[in-house]
């Protein structure tokens, strides 16, 4: 994981990085054993570099943070949830193409 994507571990870092952010935040809920998660990981990294300073990108390992996964009703991974001003706006489930994620980010900014 590059410096462009923040690893979130536990409630306190989730609150700080995601819920208290004033910009749009995309949170990638993933796990190490998940094939589609490995496919989308480089896309998330690329987007984090492209939107640096405009959008915050975070990753939550669902195996290490089951309470966060449960709180946001994560049923399948990868699940990407978009937050703004502490509110959940939308979510995308599965390894979707980069263009689709860019469109979603642009529409939510």
- CATH code of 5-101, in short, is 3.40.30.10
The sheet carrying 55-61 orders its strands as 5-8, 55-61, 24-30, 79-84, 87-93
Bridge partner list, 24: 55
Write down the pLDDT at residue 2: 53
Catalytic pick from 24, 25, 26, 34? 34
Strand ranges (E), the chain: 5-8, 24-30, 55-61, 79-84, 87-93
Per-residue pLDDT tens for 39-73?
999 999 999 999 999 999 999 999 999 999 999 99
Q: Is 37 among the residues known to form the active site?
A: yes
Query: Is 6 designated active site?
Result: no
Encoded tokens for 14: 């989730």
The structure's pTM equals 0.94
- Among 37, 58, 69, 77, which one carries the catalytic annotation? 37
């Amino acid at each position: 994981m590059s410096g462009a994507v923040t690893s979130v571990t536990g409630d306190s870092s989730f609150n700080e990085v995601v819920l208290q952010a004033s910009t749009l935040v995309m949170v990638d809920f993933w796990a190490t054993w998940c094939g589609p998660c490995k496919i989308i990981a480089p896309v998330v990294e690329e987007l984090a570099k492209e939107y640096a300073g405009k959008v915050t990108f975070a990753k939550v390992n669902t195996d290490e943070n089951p309470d966060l996964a449960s709180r946001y009703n994560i049923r399948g991974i990868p699940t990407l949830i978009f937050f703004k001003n502490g509110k959940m706006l939308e979510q995308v489930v599965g390894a979707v193409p980069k263009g689709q994620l860019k469109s979603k980010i642009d529409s939510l900014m």
